[in-house]
Amino acid sequence: MTSGRVFDLGSSTVTEAEIIDFATRYDPQPFHVDPAAAADSIYGGLIASGWHTCAMFMRLMCDGLLSQSSSMGSPGMDEIRWPNPVRPGDTLTGSAEVAEARRSASKPDRGIVRLVSRMHNQHGDPVLTMIGTGFYACRDS
Amino acid sequence: MTSGRVFDLGSSTVTEAEIIDFATRYDPQPFHVDPAAAADSIYGGLIASGWHTCAMFMRLMCDGLLSQSSSMGSPGMDEIRWPNPVRPGDTLTGSAEVAEARRSASKPDRGIVRLVSRMHNQHGDPVLTMIGTGFYACRDS
């Protein structure tokens, strides 16, 4: 993975049922689980949990990049932003840009990659940006 | 919410089935979905997706704090760290400490609260730390 390289991660469409199912388990705030209450909220309708938005991005990341890689997990994420809500029926498209790639000094069998991740909806509005770090096994170790 | 106040958010136990179910949908890496492959990985066994860990914290946050609040959502999170993996059968205990609470200058009907969130397992090992921002309706507006 070379700095500046951008991986297109494809698209996925989310249904109202998926939004409610995720939020019922993990984030049961009214504007995530109750369409009527959501319509009366500042959001004017049901929106996905931000954690669901992250999880949907992760699925694109797995299918579009990690399944062909030697991913060894991640120590964390920085600067997660949800600039616009995700709504039922939205089609979300993801990308990941390599910000930095280097070999670990302490564990030279693995590389450390910083990715700037982005996801937008069918209108081109950004719904997720974040900076994350991942570990990958090096091919030559 | 006063700066320095800590909210105890209670505990929750995660099963292997839940770990596999979440990861099958959102993060199907071998060490999250395949116990045999996970045993051969650097983790030595199945571990929860970091996004599942965040989602489990969010559920504690909803039940322990937000359901009694006037939460209006969040613009994002900073410095998410997964210092130790979450494994099947782990009991996770969460807390949230108020780092800053102020009224919005642009929208004075709402407050902006920065929380330092933490979750640890039954051994006392930290499994999640993060800094997040939330919006709340002000009682006196």
| Bridge partners (DSSP) listed for residue B71 | B136
pLDDT band of residue B108 (cuts 50, 70, 90) is confident
Contact B80 A81 (CB under 8 A): no
What are the strands, taking DSSP E only, across chain B?
Answer: 6-13, 76-81, 91-103, 110-120, 126-137
pLDDT band with cut points at 50, 70 and 90 for residue A66: confident
Contact B114, B52 (CB under 8 A): no
CA nearest neighbour of B117 among B138, B101, B133 = B133
B55 interfaces chain A, CB cutoff of 8 Å: yes
Give the per-residue pLDDT at A1: 73
B51/A54 Cβ within 8 A: yes
Min Cα separation A119/chain B (Å) = 14
Please compute the mean of the pLDDT values over residues B94-120 and round it to a whole number. 92
Q: Is A51 in contact with B49 (Cβ distance < 8 A)? A: no
Residues of chain A found within 8 Å of residue B21, distances taken between Cβ atoms: none
What residue of A is the nearest CA neighbor of B110?
A: A42
At residue B127 the predicted structure's pLDDT band, cuts being 50, 70 and 90, is very high
- The answer to whether A14 and A88 are in contact (CB under 8 A) is yes
Range B22-41 average pLDDT? 96
Quick check: A31 contacting B, CB < 8 Å? yes
Q: In this predicted model, what pLDDT tens digit does every residue of A18-57 receive, in sequence order?
A: 999 999 999 999 999 999 999 999 999 999 999 999 999 9
Q: Is this structure's pTM higher than 0.90? A: yes
DSSP state of A102: E
Average pLDDT value for chain A = 93
Which residues in chain A have Cβ-Cβ distances shorter than 8 Å to B74? Answer: 50, 82
Arithmetic mean of pLDDT over chain B: 93
pLDDT, greater one: A28 or B66? A28
Tokens found for residue A9:
């991660």
Closest chain B CA to residue A77: B80
Q: Is B31 on the interface with A (CB under 8 A)?
A: yes
* Mean pLDDT within B58-76: 89
What single-letter amino acid sits at B5? R
How far is Cα B98 from Cα A68, in angstroms, rounded to an integer?
Answer: 41
pLDDT in tens, B77-103: 999 999 999 999 999 999 999 999 999
Residue B139 is predicted with a pLDDT of: 74
